Chains A and B, each alone.
Chain A
Amino acid sequence: MSELERIGDRVSAAERDTKARGETFYPGASRIHLAAFPPKERWDDWVELDSRRAERRTMLVPTTCFNCESACGLLAYVDRETLQIRKFEGNPEHPGSRGRNCAKGPATLNQVTDPDRILAPLKRVGARGEGRWRQASWEEALDDIAARIRAAITEDRRNEIMYHVGRPGEDGFTERVLASWGVDGHNSHTNVCSSGARAGYHFWMGIDRPSPDHAGADVILLISSHLEAGHYFNPHAQRVMDAKARGATLIVFDTRLSNTATHADHWLAPQPGSEAAILLAIARHLIQTGRYDRAFVRRWWNWREYLAAEHPHDPPTFERFEQILHDLYAEFTFAFAAAESGVEEPVIARVAEAVAGAGTRLSTHNWRSAAAGNLGGWQVARCLFLLNALLGAVATEGGTFPNAWNKFVPKPMHVPGHPDTWNALTWPQEYPLAMNELSFLLPHFLKEGRGTLDVYFTRVYNPVWTNPDGFSWLEALTDESLVGLHVALTPTWSETAFFADYVLPMGHSSERHDVHSYEQYDGQWVGFRQPVLRAARERLGEPVADTREVNPGEVWEENEFWIDLSWRIDPDGELGIRRHHESLERPGEKLTVDEYYAWMFAHSVPGLPERAAAEGLTPLAYMRRYGAFEIARGVGQLHEQPVDDAELEDVAVGAHGRVFTRAPKPAVPNVVPLPTPDPDAEGRRPVGVLVDGEVRRGFPTPSGRLEFYSSTLADWGWPEYAIPTYIRSHVHPDALAGDQLVLLSTFRLPVQIHTRSANAKWLDEIAHTNPLWLHPRDAERLGGVRTGDPLRVETEIGHFVLRAWVTEGIRPGVVACSHHMGRWKPHAGGQRQAMATVDLSRGDGRWDMRRRHGVRPFDSADADTRRIWWSDVGVHQNLAFPVHPDPVSGMHCWHQAVRVRRAEPGDAVGDIAVDTRAAHDAYRRWLEATRPACAVSPDGTRRPYWLLRPLKPSRDAYRLAGDEVEAR
């Protein structure tokens, strides 16, 4: 052995020994392993110099960002002397975000120290919405709310309890709380968000979210620039850029020049709503030129079922299917797509060629954007995934995965059964195929007398501001005969919280516990959000029993809140609720968060106990120390996995190869939501699918294959949409009057996040207003409008006033206005950094909002609030939008047909006027387009049982009630 080899061996041995101790051998900042982070073994006592070169000693405690959905890892730098958080940076141990954050992560510090934050429970004094509050104790609030809920449950008014959630930020905890109460009261925001895209994916692969492996792709096709610039901005964006740096081609469909579009190799700015036409032209190109993966299509598409249903007299051969496929999309020529979209034919042809060259390394993504904007938008996702399905780029390296394969939801200690009731306020029978609750129609349902609410929780949700038609929400929320008690669980003031009876302060990302896991690459990880000061104190040997001990003021966290509330609803256990919130270690006592997560991490996260033990830690201590754990990397093609013989018992094979078994389903620690395809007629459960003579795991669809043809859509009243197709939007040029433009309202500036970031001064300074994007040609047509000119935008139900931004970054004939802005408050209180103060007036269906004044400097504990230099906070455009529920997916179709003109004398920027009677008429018109379950259900139920649903009532509850059946 040479001398160098000896030294080399010595270094290698030292490296192994160091790593075995759980320490970092190559310290940061180092270019060697992207290790520009404090070594993890020094997280207990990290020394940095401040700007005056004084030593600052901090503890580094991981948590998870609570701003957008991507759940990036954060490291809180907790001052060891003062036990205050000094800053947030990225957590290098987080496999999704890999130590990198967007602006919203570090700005968590602003949210924690916001001088206007709600620090104690508040109870309304005077009329609802009057703006007068008194401080209440948690005891008072909990007892009051619990008594009402207990009464509703015992009096069989369970559908009067509703929990309406915006950003869940957790994986199923609250659904289980509701299930433990036996109420079908979960109401999500998803139908104003992502359910259009979800529907498209769900009908294809049984799973409602895509998981694109951008980093491994050769071609990336995004109809989701909104997503890459907002949600998932960081974990997806960094992987898109990794691929681009490798030479991958980026294709972006976006009518507006978004941040993502600026990085594209091919930016297509189509007429809004025409995206599916372009996608089908690309699909046609793949089919006509024979550039699709024949073997994949033959093995994994449900083409046999399609032939049997649509061409029963044709030979059931793959060759025949190919002939039909060839003809099915023949009309979608490049010329057709160009005519629909306004994108030049050669551009579409070039993009089609790029896609054709991707092979199995095509990653695609649609989330919101076109799927959330248009009538039939759900078909955009369906047509997009058609490209993956044609190329076989499904669960391949660089392809697109079903998200459930790249997500891990650890099973908790208590899993209550689902309720035996059906709440028609959220799941009305007009929308049997809706992907999620028809949440944004709630005020109209209440006004129509479909039901009332006794206890209504809004939780990190602001429907008055986020949803369309917010004045109808105000009408419902201020009517105590419709909403008995409104409880706002929120970390910050919101337009909805102003109209609550209780405002209960909940923690930000460094003040609460949650687990979560998201699809960001082909792997599975679990992230842990935790109150960092609790973890810091525990590191110093000070146990904390209640998170309120360490949070600011009386700010609480939800886990402890829900456990306590449930306990009070059923103090003696007679309702069967308490047992779901009881300690296993100390029977008869309330569960603690420590026990809850300790059990979960010890029993339901494969590999974590071993990894923790190797560092001499318990699984919970490991997660408190590192904040995240990667369970698997390179999950791959689960659909190709053979089914174990042990699972094949008394097997039956269905007509098109679906395989059923009597063997019980094996227990798994990952309880990620999956659909539940129906058993066969004899009660065997679906276990796989027969492919070339072998039983493979397949996809969780009725057929077990990718459903090019959806029998669900065909059987439930929409046979014309059973295969991927193009639905003309409600804002198609043919539907517009000559003087109307299309308004895009779904995009947002990437540093802000819905309701939750107005309390972050750094973010407010960067982005605080939302002018109207207007193409120079349209500006000229409107009489030479210039940037800054006030404009009036007229919708179907009213108008709003804002300033113009003349830019070539938008397609002519289309205008755009960013979400996030136009925050307002009707009183002096509330969030002062980004909320204008307004006067509201109401008269006979007519609402007017007049801006009293914009944002201005103010005195507070934070000297920066005297330095506020902006006053314009934009306009709350959503107030002037009527509801547009898609009759299939239930998604609100956000795009608006509008008229834009110069502001009138007396108009002020930020002014809004709305006629809520016209809003209700619009609701009725869209409702007429539905095909209700009572008319189309093939089996007398309200909804196909196999479809995903956050809470899944018993099968009996699925049956239409007698009076509903009579209506058939």
Chain B
Amino acid sequence: MSELLRALAVLCEPPAAGHERLVAALELPASPTASEHTDLFELQLPPYASVHLGPEGMLGGEARDRAAGVWRALGLVPPAEPDHLATLLGLYATLSDTMGSDPSVSYAARSETTGSDPFVSRFARALVLHEHLLSWLDPWLAKVAEIGAPAYRAWGELLGAVLRSESERLLAGDEPLPAQLALAAPLEPPERTGGGAFLDALLAPARSGLILTRDDLARAARETGLALRVAERRYVLRNLMAQDAPATLGWLEEEARRAADRPARVAPGAIARHWQQRADGTARVLAHARHQAEEREVTHAR
């Protein structure tokens, strides 16, 4: 399984000459193109845990430090981007090598052949899977399925299947919520936090339960009939709100409800429930905010 994971990991890197060989080995229908890669991973869905688990919804920060901490705890040197999906899958594959692929072989026997402590490896592997992969990949892969090119949709399907399988093999199902999800504060109404912080939280998946891509916001403009100002997401969203706050909030509320109703893809149990509940809570906050905005507009009109 470890080579399968590595091969999947490599395919979220920019397409290169050797990728076709991997695509063939994985029996994927097509090789992604460079523009498809750029569109999905550079513009829409950055494949970094910190973006999806951190309270800021941005690269780096404590969420990346937590990923680096796994390397350090294992006595390894953290790479430059320890929270990149390829890096995490690579680490997971390495830990799988240490454990061995045959679960019937005793840990002691595996230790003799690998020179590493299989108990530590097993624990670390479960930790990486639960805390650093499953914790954010459920909604992320759902987005890949929604907006990715066919090649990436197939890749995401396969990755989801592998993670599901690993989850069944390695986890009991009663694990506590991953720490970073548990620690992320839910979205609060704008009147409590201020408009800027409200937008920040909305764009931070761990807080809102929503992954809002650039294309999503473009769709929001189309579906609400508002003008799209092409810029970074926060600016786009602020601009939509400025044009028509009730309509924008209503659109977001629908998105949140859709996310809350989305079935689990790879992480049934506490993680999936958490994302659903977080999205549901966000939908309620958005509904409240929409009402208030509508009232303000009515008052304004009077």
Chain A residue at minimum C-beta to C-beta distance from B87 = A31
Chain B residues within an 8 Å CB radius of A31: 9, 13, 79, 81, 84, 86-87, 90
Chain B residues within an 8 Å CB radius of A29: 13-14, 16
Q: Shortest distance in angstroms between B55's beta carbon and chain A's nearest beta carbon?
A: 25
List 17 contacting pairs A-B, 8 Å CB cutoff, sorted by A.
A2-B165, A4-B1, A7-B25, A8-B3, A8-B4, A11-B3, A11-B7, A11-B26, A14-B25, A25-B22, A26-B7, A29-B16, A30-B86, A31-B79, A31-B90, A246-B76, A246-B77
Mask for A235-262, Cβ within 8 A of B = 1, else 0? 0000001100111000000000000000
In the bound complex, how far is the Cα of B84 from the Cα of A749, in angstroms? 36
Chain A residues within an 8 Å CB radius of B13: 29-31
Chain A residue at minimum C-beta to C-beta distance from B18 = A27
Interface residues of B in 1-57 (CB under 8 A from A): 1, 3-4, 6-7, 9-10, 13-14, 16-19, 21-22, 24-27
Mask for A401-422, Cβ within 8 A of B = 1, else 0? 0000000000000000000000
Q: Which of B22, B25, B72, B78 is the most central at the interface, judged by chain A CB atoms within 10 Å of its CB?
A: B25
Chain A residue at minimum C-beta to C-beta distance from B166 = A4
Chain B residue at minimum C-beta to C-beta distance from A13 = B25
A39 in contact (CB, < 8 A): yes
Q: Shortest distance in angstroms between B133's beta carbon and chain A's nearest beta carbon?
A: 15
Chain B residues within an 8 Å CB radius of A5: 1
Q: Shortest distance in angstroms between A7's beta carbon and chain B's nearest beta carbon?
A: 6
**A12 contacts B21, CB within 8 Å?**
no
Closest 7 CB pairs of A and B: A27-B18, A8-B4, A32-B90, A14-B25, A245-B77, A31-B87, A12-B3
A827 in contact (CB, < 8 A): no
Q: Shortest distance in angstroms between B48's beta carbon and chain A's nearest beta carbon?
A: 11
A28 in contact (CB, < 8 A): yes
A10 in contact (CB, < 8 A): yes
In the bound complex, how far is the Cα of B87 from the Cα of A383, in angstroms? 44
A641 in contact (CB, < 8 A): no
- With A27-B16, A31-B13 as contacts: A11 and B84 at CB distance below 8 Å: no
Q: Shortest distance in angstroms between B93's beta carbon and chain A's nearest beta carbon?
A: 8
Q: Which of B21, B27, B72 contacts A7 (CB 8 A)?
A: B27
B75 in contact (CB, < 8 A): yes
Chain A residues within an 8 Å CB radius of B76: 246
**A42 contacts B4, CB within 8 Å?**
no
B161 in contact (CB, < 8 A): yes
In the bound complex, how far is the Cα of B17 from the Cα of A24, in angstroms? 11
In the bound complex, how far is the Cα of B6 from the Cα of A8, in angstroms? 10
Chain A residues within an 8 Å CB radius of B27: 7, 10
A954 in contact (CB, < 8 A): no
**B4 contacts A4, CB within 8 Å?**
yes
Chain A residue at minimum C-beta to C-beta distance from B6 = A32
Categorize the interface residue count of chain A.
Answer: 20 to 34
Known: A11-B22, A246-B72. 7 other contacts (CB 8 A): A11-B7, A12-B4, A14-B24, A24-B18, A27-B10, A29-B13, A31-B90
Chain B residues within an 8 Å CB radius of A8: 1, 3-4
Q: Shortest distance in angstroms between A87's beta carbon and chain B's nearest beta carbon?
A: 20
- With A14-B25, A27-B18, A246-B75 as contacts: A4 and B86 at CB distance below 8 Å: no
Q: Shortest distance in angstroms between A294's beta carbon and chain B's nearest beta carbon?
A: 28
Q: Which of B21, B24, B79 contacts A25 (CB 8 A)?
A: B21
Chain A residues within an 8 Å CB radius of B3: 8, 11-12, 15
**A4 contacts B165, CB within 8 Å?**
yes
A18 in contact (CB, < 8 A): yes
- With A12-B3, A25-B18 as contacts: A7 and B10 at CB distance below 8 Å: no
Chain B residues within an 8 Å CB radius of A781: none
Chain B residues within an 8 Å CB radius of A313: none
Interface residues of A in 17-56 (CB under 8 A from B): 18, 24-34, 39, 42
B264 in contact (CB, < 8 A): no
Chain B residues within an 8 Å CB radius of A15: 3, 25
**A residues adjacent to B (C-beta < 8 A):** 2, 4-5, 7-8, 10-12, 14-15, 18, 24-34, 39, 42, 241-242, 245-247
**A42 contacts B21, CB within 8 Å?**
no
Interface residues of B in 64-102 (CB under 8 A from A): 72, 75-79, 81, 84, 86-87, 89-90, 93
B293 in contact (CB, < 8 A): no
B151 in contact (CB, < 8 A): no
B162 in contact (CB, < 8 A): yes
B158 in contact (CB, < 8 A): yes
Chain A residue at minimum C-beta to C-beta distance from B165 = A4
- With A245-B72, A246-B77 as contacts: A11 and B4 at CB distance below 8 Å: yes
**B10 contacts A18, CB within 8 Å?**
no
Chain A residues within an 8 Å CB radius of B158: 7
- With A26-B6, A32-B9 as contacts: A42 and B17 at CB distance below 8 Å: yes
**A30 contacts B10, CB within 8 Å?**
yes
Chain B residues within an 8 Å CB radius of A10: 25-27
Q: Shortest distance in angstroms between B60's beta carbon and chain A's nearest beta carbon?
A: 16
**B25 contacts A11, CB within 8 Å?**
yes
Interface residues of B in 145-171 (CB under 8 A from A): 158, 161-162, 165
Chain B residue at minimum C-beta to C-beta distance from A16 = B3
Chain B residues within an 8 Å CB radius of A30: 9-10, 13, 86
Chain B residue at minimum C-beta to C-beta distance from A29 = B13
Chain B residues within an 8 Å CB radius of A42: 17
Q: Shortest distance in angstroms between A218's beta carbon and chain B's nearest beta carbon?
A: 11
**B161 contacts A4, CB within 8 Å?**
yes
In the bound complex, how far is the Cα of B71 from the Cα of A34, in angstroms? 15
**A26 contacts B4, CB within 8 Å?**
no
Q: Which of A12, A25, A28, A242 contacts B77 (CB 8 A)?
A: A242
Chain A residues within an 8 Å CB radius of B17: 27, 39, 42
In the bound complex, how far is the Cα of B266 from the Cα of A4, in angstroms? 15
**B4 contacts A32, CB within 8 Å?**
no
Q: Which of B16, B21, B72, B162 contacts A247 (CB 8 A)?
A: B72
Q: Shortest distance in angstroms between A46's beta carbon and chain B's nearest beta carbon?
A: 10
Chain A residues within an 8 Å CB radius of B84: 31
In the bound complex, how far is the Cα of B17 from the Cα of A39, in angstroms? 9
Chain A residues within an 8 Å CB radius of B90: 31-33
Chain A residues within an 8 Å CB radius of B6: 11, 26, 32-33
Q: Which of B3, B24, B27, B84 is the most central at the interface, judged by chain A CB atoms within 10 Å of its CB?
A: B3
In the bound complex, how far is the Cα of B93 from the Cα of A24, in angstroms? 18
**A18 contacts B4, CB within 8 Å?**
no
- With A24-B18, A30-B13 as contacts: A7 and B86 at CB distance below 8 Å: no
In the bound complex, how far is the Cα of B10 from the Cα of A2, in angstroms? 23
Chain A residues within an 8 Å CB radius of B77: 241-242, 245-246
Q: Which of A15, A30, A33, A242 is the most central at the interface, judged by chain B CB atoms within 10 Å of its CB?
A: A30
In the bound complex, how far is the Cα of B219 from the Cα of A567, in angstroms? 82
Q: Shortest distance in angstroms between B178's beta carbon and chain A's nearest beta carbon?
A: 22
Chain A residues within an 8 Å CB radius of B161: 4
- With A4-B4, A32-B86 as contacts: A14 and B21 at CB distance below 8 Å: yes
In the bound complex, how far is the Cα of B77 from the Cα of A245, in angstroms? 6
Q: Shortest distance in angstroms between A56's beta carbon and chain B's nearest beta carbon?
A: 16
Q: Shortest distance in angstroms between A26's beta carbon and chain B's nearest beta carbon?
A: 5
Q: Which of A4, A25, A32, A42 is the most central at the interface, judged by chain B CB atoms within 10 Å of its CB?
A: A32
Chain A residue at minimum C-beta to C-beta distance from B27 = A7
In the bound complex, how far is the Cα of B77 from the Cα of A242, in angstroms? 6
Chain A residue at minimum C-beta to C-beta distance from B9 = A32
In the bound complex, how far is the Cα of B22 from the Cα of A29, in angstroms? 15
In the bound complex, how far is the Cα of B110 from the Cα of A289, in angstroms? 40
In the bound complex, how far is the Cα of B27 from the Cα of A709, in angstroms? 69
Chain B residues within an 8 Å CB radius of A12: 3-4
Chain B residues within an 8 Å CB radius of A14: 21-22, 24-25
Chain B residues within an 8 Å CB radius of A241: 77
Chain A residue at minimum C-beta to C-beta distance from B90 = A32
Chain A residues within an 8 Å CB radius of B19: 27
